[in-house]
Amino acid sequence: MCIFSLNSLTSEQCRRKKVKCDGAQTICGNCASANLPCTYKESTKKRGPPKGYIEAIEGRLHRLEALLGSIIQEDDPRSQAILDELNSPLETAYGEVVRPKPIHPKSFEDSTALRQNDTKTEDVDNANDNLGNLSIDESGQLRYYGKSSGFYMLRSSKNFQNGAFHLNSRGYHRTKRPDGQNVLPNPLAVDPYALPPPDLSKHLLDLYFAHFYPLLPLLHKKSFLESLESDKPPPPLLLNALYAVASRISPDVRVRTDPTLKDTAGDIFLERARILLDFEWDDYRVSTVQSLLLLSSHQNGALKNIRGWLY
C-alpha cells in the first residue's frame, strides 16, 4: 500500500538510503526495481520557537523603543522619521501583521520618571537598612555591622535604643562618668603590687571558687589556698586576675573604680594585672598562662571580646 502526501516527494525507502526519488504517486522507481513496499510519510510541521522566546523578544524590542524614544526628544527631523518607522505595522514571515506599541515623547518621559522614582525608593530603603546596622558605643563612636554579622538578632536587646545599638566601650580606659570624665586612675599611679584588704581578698576568692571555679578549674584549689598562708604566696599577677574575674559579680563597691558605676568593677585589678604581665613576658610560668586565661575570661564577661582574644 502506498501512502502519498503532496508535502513529501521522497519515499521512506529513498529517504533512508539517501538516494534521489522520482516521487511517483503509486510507487517510485527505486522501490519498484528493488521490489520493496513504497510508502510516503506525511511531513511534520516545523517546530515553533521555544516557550517564552517571543515574549523575550518583545520585551527587548520595547526597551529598544524606549531607548530610541530618548533620541526623539531632540529637535532633529530624523527623529520623526524614526518615530514613524517604529510605529508602522510589521509583517512577519508567516504573514501576520504586528502593530507595535505607539511611542510618544510624553509616555517616554512618564516611564523614565517612574523608573527614577523606583530607583530613589530602593536607595532610600537600602539606606534605612544600613542605618539599622549602626551601633553607638559609650564613647560616641559609630560602628557599622554588615548583614553577615548576625547583629540583627540583637534588636530585642536592651542595648537597642532609639534605632541604634548602645554598647559598652571596648577599652577599659574609655569607661567614663556621665559627665564624660575618665574614672580609671592614671596607670602610672597604680601600684601593681598593692593588694586589697584581707576581708575583701577573702570575699573575692570565695566568689571565684563558688561561681567560676566549677566552670573554669584552672587551679588546684587545695594547693592554692595553702599557698596563701605559706612563705611562697601566689604570684601577684595570678591574684589580681582572680580578683578581676570575681569582681564582676561582687556587690562590694570597693572593687569599683567609680562606686556609682557597676561597669568599673574589677578594672583596678585588671590594670594591676596588665602592668605585672609586662614583667613576665620573658619569664613565663604556669601561673602566667593561668592568669592569661582568667584575664581573657574577665574581658569576655565584660563584653570586650576583642581584648579577650588578645590574651
**Residue 176 vs residue 99, higher pLDDT:** 99
pTM of the model: 0.40
Contact indicator for 36, 13 with CB cutoff of 8 Å:
yes
Domains in the chain, number: 4
Range of the domain at 8: 1-45
Same domain for 212 and 157, yes or no, is no
Report the percent of the chain where pLDDT is more than 70. Answer: 53
Same domain for 121 and 208, yes or no, is no
Same domain for 88 and 144, yes or no, is no
Mean pLDDT of the chain: 70
Same domain for 66 and 7, yes or no, is no
In this prediction, residue 203 carries a pLDDT of 92
Same domain for 22 and 143, yes or no, is no
Locate cell 515553533: which residue?
48
What is the C-alpha separation between 119 and 103, in angstroms, rounded?
Answer: 23
Q: What confidence tens digit (pLDDT) does each residue in 48-71 have?
A: 777 777 888 888 888 887 776 666
- As a three-state string, the secondary structure of 197-236 is CHHHHHHHHHHHHHHHCCCCCCCCHHHHHHHCCCCCCCCH
255 has a pLDDT exceeding 70: yes
Q: What confidence tens digit (pLDDT) does each residue in 177-236 have?
A: 454 444 444 544 677 788 888 899 899 999 989 988 888 888 888 898 888 888 888 888
Same domain for 108 and 141, yes or no, is no
Same domain for 113 and 240, yes or no, is no
When pLDDT is cut at 50, 70 and 90, the band that residue 132 belongs to is very low
Same domain for 302 and 215, yes or no, is yes
